[in-house]
Amino acid sequence: MVAHDHKKDELLSWVKKHREILSQHQLIATGTTGKLISDFLGVNVKRVMSGPLGGDQQLGSMIAEGEIDIVIFFWDPMEAQPHDSNVKALLRLCVVWNIPMACDAATADFILSSPFMHSEYVAEVPDYTSYLNRNVVKKI
């Protein structure tokens, strides 16, 4: 879970609405957001660094390693962020690895209310074998 500074209150409001369901899952969040959620829910939240300090990239790595199943990221579309390139990279990795991603409360509601939240769901992971084994031509 991630929220930009001007979206933290909105995320906490959403968390409050879904506290029962969220408390049943292992939550991972960027620094300040994780502390706010942990304090609010009274549950342990695995915290990575703050987004601008590398937290977005840490989450991206966890996605690539298959450690994250869903991303809830309330980002602020009205303000430029000093780490916009990291934000874009995180969103890109969600698409690359077929990770459900919500960037607003409505989409997060749809994800959380999905029947797949209450059963084992194995997302199809794209096969990048041909990409990884492609012939790379060196140019000198």
Q: What is the mean pLDDT of residues 39-64?
A: 95
For 97-133, b/e burial (b = at least 16 CB within 10 A) is: bebbbbbebeebeeebeeeeeeeeeeeeeeeeeeeee
Residue 140 in this model has a pLDDT that exceeds 90? no
Q: Tens digits of per-residue pLDDT, 17-33?
A: 999 999 999 999 999 99
**Count of CB atoms situated within 10 Å of the CB of 44:** 10
| Catalytic residue check, 84 | no
**CATH level 3 topology of 2-133:** Rossmann fold (3.40.50)
pLDDT in the model for residue 64: 95
Tell whether pTM > 0.75. Answer: yes
- Active-site annotation holder among 5, 9, 39, 56: 56
pLDDT in the model for residue 81: 84
pLDDT in the model for residue 22: 95
Residue 3 or residue 119, greater confidence: 3
Domain boundaries along the sequence of the chain? 2-133
Q: What is the mean pLDDT of residues 46-66?
A: 95
Spatial CA neighbour of 66 closest among 45, 30, 96, 35: 96
